Structure 1
Amino acid sequence: MARRTTRSSTYARRAVRHDRHGRSERSPATGPHLDPLKNRIDSFDMTVAAAADFLRSAWPDDLAKVRFEVGAMPLGILPDGTVPRWWTSSSEGRIVLYRLPIQRMSKLHRDDELHQRMMIESCVFRATAELIGKDPWDLGPDRFHF
């Protein structure tokens, strides 16, 4: 009588994890040996958050109750025909930065990651200065002294 082999005895099975819906987990798209993917939306959000944290630490009394938000596009254009890069409301304590106009309509002399990040930070500084009634260069005076 011939011995019958089953698939489980000839192949080693990998452990499969399942989520609460019974589906197996997905592996990361980049694998363990590559850096995670970065996209424009995440880098924009992180740059806004970093600039907002810096400004909050420099001006804690003025910015204690201010919310920094990111919106994709403004609802309309300004009377002069330009697209706004941000919107501020001192009564609500809100600053909304519009990602698409800042990223796509800003004219940079060099279009690389550093200059894009500097443009985003300058918009955060200018919007904050508009909200609290100060000059943007006064918001981070120690930041520009080397």
Structure 2
Amino acid sequence: MPRSRRTTVQSPTSRGRGRDRHGRGIRSSATGPFLPPLRTRVDMFDMTIASTVDYLRMVWPAELADVGFEVATGPLNVIPGVGVARYAVDAPGRRITFFRLPIQRLSGLHRTDEFHQRMVIESCVFRGVAELLGKDPWDLAPDRFRHF
């Protein structure tokens, strides 16, 4: 019986995401299908800024109605004699920009846990809003700290 001259051409295998390795099945995410995705420092920073801004907008609705809040990686330059700015206030443009890397890395915390990191971020938001409104940061939410 003569052999068939037809040859089978195999398509090249694609290596990379989701490949079936040694017959074990397609790879899944590191957290699995039943766990929420991991929280990152950037997500925590953005959530802390947003929740603090929401709180201040509840307390000062008329003064902060048209204020824009932004998050940037870092400032473009270093202020001589002062150092790296943690936030920038644009009073005529009614905008406050918070710089994530200086706030997170240059704060000099005595304990690096989530509570202290959140306090540093909130204090920068309070100081930025106080500078924009021309008030003391402690005057922005006087009832919040009454129990101390």
If the length of structure 1 is used for normalisation, what is the TM-score? 0.78
User: Equivalent residue of 1:60, what SS?
Assistant: coil
Residue in 1 that maps onto 2:78:
77
User: Equivalent residue of 2:111, what SS?
Assistant: coil
Structure with more helix by fraction:
1
Residue in 2 that maps onto 1:125:
126
Could you list the runs of 5+ residues in structure 2 that have no partner in the other structure? Answer: 1-26
What's the offset of the Cα at 1:29?
3.6
* Residue 93 of structure 2 corresponds to residue 92 of structure 1: yes
Could you list the runs of 5+ residues in structure 1 that have no partner in the other structure? Answer: 1-25
Residue in 1 that maps onto 2:51:
50
Once the two structures are superposed, what CA deviation does each residue of 1:35-94 show, in whole Å capped at 9, x if it has no partner?
Answer: 420100010000000000001110111101001110001010112140000000111110
* Residue 141 of structure 2 corresponds to residue 140 of structure 1: yes
User: Equivalent residue of 2:62, what SS?
Assistant: helix
Matches of 2:79 and 2:59 in 1, distance apart? 31
Identity %: 59
Q: CA RMSD in A?
A: 1.4
User: Equivalent residue of 2:63, what SS?
Assistant: helix
Residue in 2 that maps onto 1:107:
108
Q: Which amino acid aligns with 2:79?
A: L
Matches of 1:115 and 1:145 in 2, distance apart? 20
Matches of 1:52 and 1:34 in 2, distance apart? 29
Residue in 2 that maps onto 1:61:
62
Q: Which amino acid aligns with 2:94?
A: G
Question: Of the two, which has the highest radius of gyration?
Answer: 2
User: Equivalent residue of 2:125, what SS?
Assistant: helix
If the length of structure 2 is used for normalisation, what is the TM-score? 0.77
Residue in 2 that maps onto 1:34:
35
Q: Which amino acid aligns with 2:33?
A: P
